Each structure stands twice: as C-alpha cells, then as structure tokens.
Amino acid sequence: MVATQHRWLTDRNITRLIRARAARLGLLREGFEDVQQEILMQLSGFRLDPQKATDAKETTVLVTIIDRRLRMWARARRRYGNRLDHVREEREAESRASGQPQPAYEEPTEMIMDVRQSVASLDADDRRLCSALGEGRTIDAIAAELGCSWHTVKRRIERLRERFEEMNLNAWLCG
C-alpha cells in the first residue's frame, strides 16, 4: 500500500473497516470477499487531498467510498436476483401455455452462455457499459467513467437493448 499521512491506514485496518461497514449495512454474505478485494484495490493508492476534502477527516472519506461501493454491489446482486426471478416466471408461463409439465427449475445455462457470448462480441466500450450496468452504476456515473454525456449512454443502452431483443434475450433486459 502506498505510504500515507496516517499510520492506521493499512490493508488490515481498511479490511476491518470494510467488514464493519458491510455488517452495519447487512451485507456480509456469499460473494462479499470479492467486493472486499475490489474495494481494497480501489483504495490501495488512496491519499486524502485536503483541498478537495473540505475539512473532512480521512476516515469519513474512506467510509463514504466504502459505503458507496458496497451499496452498488448489493444493488447489482438484487438486480441479478430479480432477473433470475423474471426468467423463471417466463419459463413457467411458457410451460403453462404449452400445456407441458414444468421441469424442476435449473438456472438457464444456455441463456447465460448466449448473453456472455453476445457481450464478448461487443466492442470494448459497450462491454464496459454492460459491466457497469451489471454492477449497478447509475447512468451519470457511467457517463463520467466513459467520458461522454448521459444522453450518449442512454442511446448506447437502447442500441444494446435492441441487439439483445434481436437475439431473443429479452428476459435479461431491464424494464
């Protein structure tokens, strides 16, 4: 870790802070270790800029960064769960309409592979856009990251939506 003004800012202490914030937000569950590693990597070069901090303490800034990332992670997990529920409901509705008995639910592996293949075939910016959406980032945050306006991001999302619809992957599109 990059040396900072304060000795308490070590990987171990940041890890404890991340765990404490996750526990406070009720987010200690499966997959937490991955987001913890991501946050540690984001903060590895953290240095408080007193001019931008407007008298905020270093811990306050760290807690804000950690909480935002944890909330994004939780939102992405919720969206993925909702998407799976939507796919499940569509499959059940198709089964009822066809009159065939509903098999035991299995995660739609073929559809997941189709989505992964279609995302892999996108250009780098569109892949980053899909990744950011999957992580639960806002359109404004994505626009800032990609260096474009939110209008451009919305247009690109609509273009991707049309592409997914053409490939019959509608179940994976957000409402």
Question: Both 61 and 130 in a single domain?
Answer: no
Q: What is the residue range of 131's domain?
A: 108-175
121 shares a domain with 95: no
d(CA 34, CA 18): 12
- Tell me: do 97 and 115 sit in the same domain: no
3-state secondary structure the chain: CCCCCCCCCCHHHHHHHHHHHHHHCCCCCCCHHHHHHHHHHHHCCCCCCHHHHCCCCHHHHHHHHHHHHHHHHHHHHHHHHHHHHHHHHHHHHHHHHHCCCCCCCCCCHHHHHHHHHHHHCCCHHHHHHHHHHHCCCCHHHHHHHHCCCHHHHHHHHHHHHHHHHHCCCHHHCCC
Could you tell me if 97 and 116 lie in one domain? no
Is the predicted pLDDT of residue 171 greater than 70, yes or no? no
> What local confidence, expressed as pLDDT, does residue 8 receive?
46
Interval 89-99: pLDDT, tens: 887 787 777 77
Q: For residue range 56-85, what is the model confidence (pLDDT) as tens digits? A: 777 788 888 888 888 888 888 888 888 888
Together in a domain, 3 and 86? yes
Q: What is the CATH number of the domain that holds 167?
A: 1.10.10
Residues 28, 69 within the same domain: yes
| Mean pLDDT, the chain, integer | 76
